[in-house]
Chains A and B, each alone.
Chain A
Amino acid sequence: MKYRNIIKAFTAVALVLGLAGNSVQAADLRVGVEGAYPPFSWKEADGTLKGFDIEIAEAVCAELKRKCVLIEQDWDGMIPALLARKFDTIIASMSITEERKKRVDFSDKYYNTPAKFVAKKGSGLEISKAGLKGKRVGLQRGTTHQCYMEKIYPDTELVLYGTQEEVFQDLVIGRIDAQFSDSIAADDGFLKVDAGKDFEFIGGDQHDEACHGPGAGMAVRKADTDLRDQLNAAIKAIRDNGTYQKINAKYFEFDIFGG
């Protein structure tokens, strides 16, 4: 008899906790962000997260009337962490690609910027199959840029890093001949700051539809179609009500939403 009561009590507690847990999940939107990809996301000395992605995430949460819980995650564990339910969506400049669509679902794009090479000023590096043959090009592991380089420039020696910041660091030190990344990330995160003053873009925009896709989207688990639709509506809403443009103007001189 006594034991039955204890079991009942436990069940009641578990139910209450379970319900509480559910209601917390409904209220909070857990967003996976990176925090090492300026100007889209970076971490201040006091640990707060800043950047375009972060503000877009906050704006989307405000639109959905849910509280944003930002969860930092290393880039190459981003999709596994989403699938493992560590967060509900990724808002981390993740390009919408066919390869990724096999694993996750995406919202519509929320921005689209081209990819470019960066090298030392006056390096004389030529962006062509022959010019890049045997050269060491640094890039972030697990990005669309890795796909692009392996596809278009297979004879180039790729040097893979965990974060974009490490790529810039080794470019300054001189361990790599060039780096390949999103042009905005390279411009604002590197060329416009002191460390990047001796470096410049070389070659034009690089684009391969299969690798780069239509732009950056917010990733969700395939089952979460409701959330995906809500995110799409929210992106459209902040585009329409001017919130997006306000955030955009804080970071960039032109509309990065793309055509």
Chain B
Amino acid sequence: MGESIIAFLNTWSPLDLVLIAQNFDRFLYGALVTLQLTVIALIVGGLLSVPLAIIRAGKNPWLNAPVWAFTYLFRGTPLLVQTYLIYYGIGQFEWIRETAIWDPILSQAWWCALIAFSLNTAAYTTELLRGSIITTSRGEIEAAKACGLGKWMRMRRIVLPSSFRRALPAYSNEVIFMLHGSVVASTITIQDLLGVGRWLNGRYYLAYEGFITAAVLYLIIVLLISRGFRLWESRWLKHLYPLDAVKTKPKKSLASFRI
């Protein structure tokens, strides 16, 4: 039975499905590496972006200028260039190779990718959050002032929670961009999801098999991410929707199948 299925696939399938199946564990492992890099970069970048966004939304020019320069630099150059600079560029200097952080961190491709990705997503998220912070409704802030909340208390209790919620839809794009951007890791020897696709192509000279499998797995991950964000949005942005939209279940139309 098993053999006849394999024979059938070998004869009739335009893709070498047997080869994909044989190497599927590699693809899953690659997907794990991709997810790991993306998620950790998003956490690190996200944590960095909160104080940076507060600075960018504030009026202190001495703090504002360097943060602006940082976000301008990382949003103004391609992620591939940033990764190459960190991976190949930094390694060129001998004195850096003699420092204590060379061996455990900068000599490892994984860490170089993580640093580049974290800084990149931090820059984008900073500007995203800044936009969200400065558009906080005046009324909410005035109400907070009237209640006697101090500057930092206002930021912590009123401005940030509301900004996070309003930034959520745009942030889901950033998460997906970061996932897509993580393919850059495969150019610096990391066997991420695309790296495994390239490995298969390099080993068996079958471009479709490697890249289609990778593409399908990316699609699945993106689907899960966007579904997750929709659930999250429907919970945290409930107060921004019209009331009847919350009460009555929206009719299922084609438009509701957005991902």
A: which residues have CB within 8 A of B?
76-77, 79-80, 99-100, 102-103, 138, 141-143, 146-147, 150, 159-162, 166, 169-170, 173-175
Contacts and interface: CB of A to CB of B under 8 A. Distances in A.
B88 to A, nearest CB: 6
12 contacts: A76-B202, A80-B201, A80-B205, A99-B205, A103-B206, A146-B203, A147-B203, A160-B191, A160-B198, A160-B199, A160-B202, A173-B92
Contact of A99 (B107, B108, B195, B204): B204
Given A103-B205, A160-B191, A175-B109, 6 more contacts: A77-B207, A79-B205, A160-B198, A175-B91, A175-B107, A175-B108
A173 B202 CA distance: 25
Interface residues of B, number: 20
Given A159-B189, A160-B189, A142 B107 contact: no
Interface in B227-256: none
A149 B247 CA distance: 63
Contacts of B180: none
A100 to B, nearest CB: 6
B209 to A, nearest CB: 11
A174 B202 contact: no
B189 A161 contact: yes
Contacts of A100: 205
B89 to A, nearest CB: 11
B198 A141 contact: yes
Nearest to B112: A175
A76 B203 contact: no
B187 interface: yes
B91 A173 contact: yes
A257 to B, nearest CB: 26
B92 A142 contact: no
B97 interface: yes
B180 to A, nearest CB: 19
Contacts of B199: 141, 160
Nearest to B91: A173
Interface in B188-214: 189, 191, 195, 198-199, 201-207
A147 B204 CA distance: 9
A99 B109 CA distance: 30
Nearest to B94: A173
Nearest to B88: A169
Contact of B107 (A141, A166, A169, A173): A173
A146 to B, nearest CB: 6
A161 B190 CA distance: 9
